[in-house]
Chains A and B, each alone.
Chain A
Amino acid sequence: MPSAKEAKKKQACSCGSSNCSSKASKDGYEQVMNKKMNRRAAFSNITKGLLVGAGLAQSACNITASKDEREESQMQWEEYFKKNYRLMDEAEKQATVDRLTSLYEKRTGKHVNIGTTDAIDNVLYGYAFNISKCKGYMDCVNACVKENNQDRSTQMQYIRIHEVENGQLNFETADDNFFHEVPAAGHFYMGTQCFHCENPPCVDVCPVGATWQEEDGIVVIDYDWCIGCRYCMAACPYDGRRFNWKEPEVPEPEVNLVQHYLGNRLRKKGVMEKCTFCIQRSRKGDNPACVEACPTGARIFGNLLDPNSQIRWVLAHKKVFRLKEDLGTEPKFWYFMD
């Protein structure tokens, strides 16, 4: 409304600063890019810009840091931005394995072998557990912890052995942390772990798709993709999943250096992990560590699609059952008795 005043103001401004209401021809671009200023102001602006730029450049590539440290930062930078494993092509998988191997070597001087073996064709892994034979020795638990580089400080265990009272299949009254002579009278023993369901509820609920079922039936986790929301843990009816509430500690001499990207490679805090049917072993034709370690032969593993396999024989000739069958998860872990 006070247009006369405004007009006077416009004429008074000579520097085209944005305090004046602009005419149609002088828009924001004009005002910033074609700003008229005296030499001193220009000089000071340019110097400021250079300093900021140099600071940025320096923080990005620290001149005083050693070549090693810079390489390490570069690798960690690339690791941070890598894709979900399922979406990586062969080159990207190899690149991340190389980075992880280098980083480990830099840290410990040891060479680790991180495999990326794909599923073998025509294989669907199945597992059977003989309740008559398990005596509660827990040799399987020890073997699993060692094989899979689990955190020792929180005594993480994928496998739980439950000492169940005779007369009922009631886990509520069962004890899964016993320490007395076994087998205890009046009890039997059942082991649980991730059952690698054919219809896994954990896979459906992961918001970032960090867990999925591979072609050979193993439900795996991409540890570097997991954001740690723990929804999968809430969704699992079988207590199959474990979370790293703190940075996992594995004593260096005990680290298993034969690893798989989706299996027993070293994890970090804030990510989920679980039994992978020892993917680093089973994809080479070996049995998982728990199967190997059990002294009584209570654990049986094999290819469900091979009619000659032990697991198929057990399913066909033994009275098998699965836990919580009514939930429709179709676990690939059966129980039977002699």
Chain B
Amino acid sequence: MKKMLFVVMILLVVFLLGLNFAPIGEHHEQEHELHLLEHIRQHTTPLTYDLSATQPLDTTGFIAVHSNVPGVANFLTERRISTISSFPCSNCHDQPLAKMKTQVAPNLQKAHWDIQLAHASQSTMNCTTCHAEDDMNQLTTLTGEILLLDESFKLCGQCHSTQLKDWQGGAHGKSINGWKPPRAAKTCVSCHNPHKPAFPKRFPARLNTQELGE
């Protein structure tokens, strides 16, 4: 009799505990732990940071990029004009381009004689694709609109529209001001030489000789 009672008690306890913890019957509202992506996507308000300890960015050398990509805020990129030592070019080169074209060698290619254009084929691009024919201080779009040298990214973006979009979003290029606002990125020509954009092969920066022994 006592043994049976003991067995019944054990069964009762196990059964009741099981009912309590097992997810059957009445649906228990459990706190739903957010997965990482759900948690991230909940944050939709742009943030401000208290980074008072850090040095603020000196924005004089930067130009604002008004992004045309939805969801991308405006950001800064490097100016180009201020880094060219002898700008404007026309200070010295005051002859109109038409006149320069008529000159015979060796005067024809006095300036920029060393620039080889290795950027797409000859049928796609030549000097005047980018440089404004009648104004050496400016660039030109494919349809003849004038662009400042500081806005060269708009020019590159005509053919490289995917890269332009990526650059504005932040997936392409190098950032200058870390991850903190204001966002500043290098401009296209800071990394890519517009006349010869291809990067040559090189050797890696190091070899781990210790690991070779593993």
Q: How many of A's residues come within 8 Å of B, CB to CB?
A: 64
Interface flag for B117 (CB, 8 Å): no
User: How many Å lie between the Cα of A109 and that of B201 in the bound state?
Assistant: 43
20 contacts between A and B (CB under 8 A): A128-B171, A138-B206, A139-B205, A155-B209, A177-B207, A177-B211, A179-B203, A179-B207, A183-B201, A198-B36, A282-B178, A285-B179, A286-B180, A287-B178, A303-B179, A306-B46, A306-B47, A309-B170, A310-B179, A336-B171
Contact A301 B43 (CB under 8 A): no
**Cβ-closest chain B residue relative to A155:** B210
**Cβ-closest chain B residue relative to A281:** B178
Interface flag for A39 (CB, 8 Å): no
Interface residues of A in 259-301 (CB under 8 A from B): 281-282, 284-287, 291, 294-297, 300-301
Interface residues of A in 137-157 (CB under 8 A from B): 137-139, 141-142, 154-155, 157
Chain B binder among A26-34, A223-231, A314-322: A314-322
User: How many Å lie between the Cα of A12 and that of B42 in the bound state?
Assistant: 90
Name A residues whose Cβ lies closer than 8 Å to a Cβ of B: 117, 120-124, 126, 128, 130, 133, 135-139, 141-142, 154-155, 157, 161, 176-183, 198, 281-282, 284-287, 291, 294-297, 300-318, 330, 332, 336, 338
Name B residues whose Cβ lies closer than 8 Å to a Cβ of A: 35-37, 40, 43-47, 49-51, 53-54, 71-73, 162, 166, 169-175, 177-181, 183, 191, 199, 201-212
Known interface pairs A155-B209, A181-B202, A302-B170; 19 further A-B residue pairs with C-beta atoms within 8 A, sorted by A's residue number: A120-B51, A137-B202, A155-B211, A157-B208, A176-B211, A179-B207, A182-B203, A285-B49, A285-B54, A285-B178, A303-B47, A303-B179, A305-B43, A306-B43, A306-B47, A308-B183, A309-B179, A316-B71, A330-B36
- Say yes or no: A155-B208 contact (C-beta < 8 A), given A307-B44, A309-B170, A314-B170: yes
Contact A142 B44 (CB under 8 A): no
Contact B36 A300 (CB under 8 A): no
B50, B71, B171, B212, most chain A CB atoms within 10 A: B171
Contact A138 B210 (CB under 8 A): no
Q: What's the A-B contact tally at a CB cutoff of 8 Å?
A: 140
Which of A141, A157, A310 touches B170 (beta carbons < 8 Å)? A310
- Residues on B with beta carbons closer than 8 Å to the beta carbon of A157: 208
A126, A303, A310, A315, most chain B CB atoms within 10 A: A310
Q: Tell me the minimal C-beta distance from B51 to chain A in angstroms.
A: 5
- Say yes or no: A308-B73 contact (C-beta < 8 A), given A142-B205, A182-B203, A315-B40: yes
Contact B171 A300 (CB under 8 A): yes
Q: Tell me the minimal C-beta distance from B123 to chain A in angstroms.
A: 26
Contact B201 A310 (CB under 8 A): no
- Residues on B with beta carbons closer than 8 Å to the beta carbon of A313: 71-72, 169-171
Contact B40 A297 (CB under 8 A): no
**Cβ-closest chain B residue relative to A305:** B43
- Residues on A with beta carbons closer than 8 Å to the beta carbon of B201: 181-183
- Residues on B with beta carbons closer than 8 Å to the beta carbon of A330: 35-36
Contact B45 A307 (CB under 8 A): yes
Q: Tell me the minimal C-beta distance from B213 to chain A in angstroms.
A: 10
- Residues on B with beta carbons closer than 8 Å to the beta carbon of A305: 40, 43, 47
Closest 5 CB pairs of A and B: A310-B170, A285-B180, A286-B178, A313-B169, A155-B210
User: How many Å lie between the Cα of A138 and that of B207 in the bound state?
Assistant: 9
Contact B175 A287 (CB under 8 A): yes
Contact A297 B173 (CB under 8 A): yes
- Say yes or no: A297-B174 contact (C-beta < 8 A), given A198-B36, A310-B169: yes
**Cβ-closest chain A residue relative to B162:** A338
Q: Tell me the minimal C-beta distance from B169 to chain A in angstroms.
A: 4
- Residues on B with beta carbons closer than 8 Å to the beta carbon of A179: 203-204, 207
- Residues on A with beta carbons closer than 8 Å to the beta carbon of B211: 155, 176-177
Q: Tell me the minimal C-beta distance from B70 to chain A in angstroms.
A: 10
- Residues on A with beta carbons closer than 8 Å to the beta carbon of B173: 297
Contact B179 A302 (CB under 8 A): yes
User: How many Å lie between the Cα of A180 and that of B49 in the bound state?
Assistant: 44
Which of B43, B172, B202 touches A307 (beta carbons < 8 Å)? B43
Which of B179, B180, B205 touches A137 (beta carbons < 8 Å)? B205
- Residues on A with beta carbons closer than 8 Å to the beta carbon of B50: 120-121
User: How many Å lie between the Cα of A178 and that of B53 in the bound state?
Assistant: 41
Contact B169 A317 (CB under 8 A): yes
- Residues on A with beta carbons closer than 8 Å to the beta carbon of B53: 117, 284
User: How many Å lie between the Cα of A278 and that of B203 in the bound state?
Assistant: 26
Contact B175 A141 (CB under 8 A): no
- Residues on B with beta carbons closer than 8 Å to the beta carbon of A306: 43, 46-47
- Residues on A with beta carbons closer than 8 Å to the beta carbon of B166: 338
Contact A284 B170 (CB under 8 A): no
User: How many Å lie between the Cα of A315 and that of B40 in the bound state?
Assistant: 10
User: How many Å lie between the Cα of A314 and that of B202 in the bound state?
Assistant: 28
Contact B171 A130 (CB under 8 A): yes
Q: Tell me the minimal C-beta distance from A332 to chain B in angstroms.
A: 7
User: How many Å lie between the Cα of A286 and that of B178 in the bound state?
Assistant: 4
User: How many Å lie between the Cα of A336 and that of B166 in the bound state?
Assistant: 12
